[in-house]
Amino acid sequence: MSILVTPATKILVQGITGSFGARHAQLSLDYGTKVVAGVTPGKGGQLFSHVVPIFDTVDQAVKETGATVSVIFVPPPFAADAILEGVDAGLDLVVAITEGIPVNDMVKVKQAMQGSKTRLIGPNCPGLVTPGTGKDSHGGCRIGIAPG
């Protein structure tokens, strides 16, 4: 089993300004995860938690921050497009927390992902955690809704 994320992994959060995404982005920051960007169309230029820049697109976020992994907290009708935006931006890993994505949407995502380097975990998954080595395991990488 390979380790997909480490404490050095740069994470972006799609849907960081929604209540669910914001709550779990903050928990990840508190855990020590390197959350380097958020993405919410139309909210580019804002900051999340006074430190994380928000971008309008995944491509902008990747180019500006070097993020390699995305976690998706967007409503089901928009989740397939969010996944594909990560694939198009060349991310190594996309973690889709969203549940209830239409099956036909995911069939299209699977077909579109063939031949890409991006690995998808989910949808409807709790995410993943690589524990830190510091006191209380802080300094690891927590992505999604899984407890640290």
- Quick check: bond before 102 cis, omega within 30? no
Q: What percent of the chain has pLDDT over 90?
A: 86
Q: Which domains does the chain have, with CATH numbers?
A: 10-144 (3.40.50.720)
pLDDT of residue 18: 96
pLDDT of residue 132: 78
Higher pLDDT, 18 or 135: 18
pLDDT of residue 131: 87
Residue 72 near residue 83, CB atoms below 8 Å? yes
Structure tokens of 116? Answer: 């890409």
Tens-place pLDDT, residues 84-131: 999 999 999 999 999 999 999 999 999 999 999 999 999 999 999 998
Residue 60, pLDDT above cutoff 50: yes
Whole-angstrom distance between the N-terminal and C-terminal Cα of the chain?
A: 20
pLDDT of residue 1: 45
- Among residues 45, 91, 46, 48, the alpha carbon closest in space to that of 66 is found at 91
